[in-house]
Chains A and B, each alone.
Chain A
Amino acid sequence: MTSTGMQFGIFTVGDVTADPTTGRTPTEGERIRATVTIAKKAEEVGLDVFATGEHHNPPFVPSSPTTLLGYIAAQTERIVLTTSTTLITTNDPVKIAEDYSVLQHLAGGRVDLMLGRGNTGPVYPWFGKDIRAALPLTVENYQLLRRLWREDVVDWSGEYRTPLRGFTLAPRPLDGVPPFVWHGSIRSPEIAELAAHYGDGFFANHIFWPASHTKAMVQLYRQRFEHYGHGGADQAIVGLGGQVFLRPNSQDAVNEFRPYFDNAPVYGHGPSLEEFSAQTPLTVGSPQQVIDKTLSFREYVGDYQRQLFLIDHAGLPLKTVLEQLDLLGEHVIPVLRKEFAIGRPAHVPDAPTHQSLIDAARRPEIQEAS
């Protein structure tokens, strides 16, 4: 894998939702297989990244992300596989370290992950945790995860997990390089602080909140990244969500997407499609409109590294999602690659990859922050 400036990809929530235009709900099996088809198609049309969410309650199917990603890894060659997000609170950090080490080996390094807290209260007690401790749990688990990936023998004790004595992670990370870690956030400044502290990537969900909010969060992360000595503010590693629905004709896109928007689980039955499009990054229209809106993100977050789009939710049928990927791959992403490269300063890092992390580890002047 060589780094290529910005990465473009898709992220899926993995919801099983009835198609509001037909009333038909796919089975869980259909949804899982559709997700695999979508991931393979994403690679085929030239996208760089596929990300899956992690959920432990209906109507969602991705409760076991590395099983899904491992299966996709076996059927793809180039695309980077990642998560959106991996629950750092309710998963045992030892199991995360093991699962992603194995996945790294199987996928030949085409793996990173995005950590998140999870916001579904009832899920926490199912895994023996308490949502009220989500923040200290996040910090403790993440600090342990970092050590498991970096130290040969770990002696550890903490508040929320059985102590470890003489524990060695097996298998060790591929090439001795842990997967790159992003921290995903919808609204918490604490997560920007966490990402900045470790010099990790910060992914702003972006799609559920107004741009002003994302701007403030990314600005905070960049300032703190510099404060912690990982480089200049404009060298911090930023990812953004986006949400698009496209057709060659703008009005066709609006007409076709409206019933899905109006009934969407997250924001349906609230603001109109037009209001939501004005207030958030949602773009429903022609490829050119998607290009223009996406390019505008740079105006308020600066040059960034990763752009993921949500395209397969709210009951959209597989056929439609695959058409979205065709349109993205043919008409949108090539233009975005070209346009985003214009004026991008040389000192702004490319999106991190396994290879870039290996290269960085070989350069002695790069100090690992702990």
Chain B
Amino acid sequence: MRVAVISGGLREPSSTRLLADRLAAAVRAELGQVEVEVIELRRLARAIADAMVTGFASPELEEAFGAVAGSDGVIAVTPTFNATFSGLFKSFFDVLPEQTVEGVPVLIAATGGTERHSLVLDHALRPMFSYLHAVVSPTGVYAATADFGAQGLSERITKAASNFARLLKLCGPRRGDTVNAELDEMQRLLAGA
């Protein structure tokens, strides 16, 4: 199994990255053999903006796309800015080629300055990943700053990782080839003449 971890944290060290790492570790504990690749969006910030302007990805961004496309599951973690995911986090998915996460299990998570933002998971991340036809794991993790020192976060991480691991096993390795699907449609159109 291969899991891509997408972290939208902007600072170093970043609490978003910290949460992402803890989720990845918990998933590994559940599954045993799992290959984890972490994609730090901060390092891709300019490349993401360039891709919006030019319509194509630079080699480093292409590599990140490849990591997502080659994964069997995704852990996506964003900071909460202005009551929603960060602009950079959203921008990454805006330039990610269509269908990259279609049918792919996704564990959603977010950090924020206050507990009062916890619905960002269900009001922002879940609808976006539904739109992208990902299979969103039922349990996400929201961690406010205060949660990192408090009881309960570890248990929530373990529970979310356990649900996600089950989903990963159910969905199995990714298959499907979008280029061939596009060609199939064209061949059908041409043959139907």
Contacts and interface: CB of A to CB of B under 8 A. Distances in A.
Given A209-B56, A271-B54, A136 B179 contact: no
A193 B54 contact: no
A208 B189 contact: no
B151 interface: no
A279 B59 contact: yes
B189 A139 contact: yes
B49 A135 contact: no
B12 interface: no
A190 B186 contact: yes
Interface string A135-151: 11001000100000000
Contacts of B50: 270-271, 275
A271 B182 contact: no
Given A139-B189, A189-B182, A208 B56 contact: yes
Contact of B183 (A136, A139, A189, A275): A189
Interface string B172-193: 0000000100110111011001
Interface string A266-308: 1111110001100110000000000000000000000000000
A135 B192 CA distance: 13
B53 interface: yes
A248 to B, nearest CB: 29
A309 to B, nearest CB: 19
A139 B193 contact: yes
A143 B192 CA distance: 11
A189 B185 CA distance: 11
Nearest to A186: B55
B158 interface: no
A270 B52 CA distance: 8
B86 interface: no
A157 to B, nearest CB: 13
A265 B75 CA distance: 36
Given A189-B179, A275-B58, A270 B193 contact: no
Interface in B8-64: 49-50, 52-56, 58-59, 62
Contacts of A269: 53
A250 B182 CA distance: 42
A197 B187 CA distance: 9
A176 interface: no
A163 interface: no
A266 B56 CA distance: 12
A164 to B, nearest CB: 16
A209 B189 CA distance: 27
Contacts of A266: 54
A317 to B, nearest CB: 24
Given A208-B54, A279-B58, A193 B179 contact: no
Interface SS, B side: helix
A189 B187 CA distance: 11
Contacts of B179: 189
A190 B186 CA distance: 6
Contacts of B185: 135, 190
Interface residues of A, number: 24
Contact of A213 (B56, B182, B186, B193): B56
Interface string B146-169: 000000000000000000000000
A190 B59 contact: no
B65 to A, nearest CB: 12
Interface in B105-164: none
A135 B188 CA distance: 11
Contacts of B186: 135, 139, 189-190, 193-194
A189 B97 CA distance: 14
Nearest to A188: B182
Contacts of A135: 185-186, 189
A266 B50 CA distance: 11
A210 interface: yes
Nearest to A270: B53
A139 B182 CA distance: 14
A209 B97 CA distance: 14
Contact of B193 (A143, A189, A190, A268): A143
Interface of A: 135-136, 139, 143, 188-190, 193-194, 197, 208-210, 213, 266-271, 275-276, 279-280
Given A188-B182, A270-B54, 5 more contacts: A135-B185, A189-B183, A193-B186, A267-B53, A279-B59
20 contacts: A135-B186, A135-B189, A136-B189, A139-B189, A189-B179, A190-B183, A190-B185, A193-B183, A193-B187, A193-B190, A194-B190, A197-B190, A210-B62, A213-B56, A266-B54, A270-B49, A270-B52, A270-B54, A275-B58, A280-B56
